[in-house]
Amino acid sequence: MSFEIGLWLTKAVHVAAIALWAGGLLALPFLLAQRTGLEGAPLHRLHALTRFFYTALISPAAFVAIATGIALLFVQATYVEWFSAKLGFVGLLVGLHAAIGLSIVKVFTHERRFGKVAASFFTTAQLTAIPPILWLVLAKPDLDAEALFPDLFAPGNLAHLLKPLTAWVTP
């Protein structure tokens, strides 16, 4: 198999995994919202379906998307600002993935519910992360980090910016 075919197959798997991951994450709040008022066998069926969906489909898709993305790092120019921005949004998506996984555990214990506010929050947060990832990858905009954040690259400025986050560590 030639290098180009392997590259295109890796990209195809990457795109398919991202589609399954993102679509699955968007579907989960609607599944969890069905929990309200259920008891007995219907509750157990919904719980089993939701956990199967998360652990057997969405999480492996996330793993494959990230693994193939890392593999593609080695053959593409990734030292550009749009790529760094994309990774920031992917990090947000990973955080949302973990948060909704914890919600699955909480919703199905001790008669908890997943209301409209929680469903709206997760859906909105995911729709805040997914479209920018797609736009950044497809448009590959010429972002100028120094123009967007002029003081970020000044010597010693990172310590100044992180001081509020690290103040509890240092006296």
Please report the pLDDT score of residue 95 as a whole number: 95
Phi/psi for 129 (5° steps) reads -95, -40
- The confidence score (pLDDT) of residue 1 equals 60
Q: pLDDT value at position 2?
A: 84
User: Is 96 in contact with 125 (CB distance < 8 Å)?
Assistant: yes
DSSP codes of every residue in 45-98: HHHHHHHHIIIIIIHHHHHHHHHHHHHHHTTS---SHHHHHHHHHHHHHHHHHH
The owner of tokens 């998307």 is 65
Does residue 79 sit in helix, strand or coil?
A: coil
Tokens for 135, please give them.
């736009």
Return the closest-CA partner of residue 120 out of 18, 26, 22, 23: 26
pTM over 0.85? The answer is no
User: According to the model, what pLDDT value does residue 69 have?
Assistant: 92
The single-letter code of the amino acid at 81 is E
**Measuring CA to CA, which residue among 125, 26, 19 is closest to residue 62?**
19
Nearest to 19 by CA among 50, 57, 52: 57
Q: How far apart are CA 123 and CA 142, in angstroms?
A: 29
In a structure prediction context, what are the per-residue pLDDT tens digits for the chain, which is 171 residues long? 687 888 899 999 999 999 999 999 999 999 999 988 888 899 899 999 999 999 999 999 999 999 999 998 888 767 788 888 899 999 999 999 999 999 999 898 877 888 899 999 999 999 999 999 999 989 989 888 777 777 766 787 777 777 877 777 765
The answer to whether the CB of 89 falls within 8 A of the CB of 136 is yes
Cα angle value 133/5/66 (rounded, 5°): 30
DSSP 97: H
**Sign of torsion over alpha carbons 144, 150, 151, 156:** positive
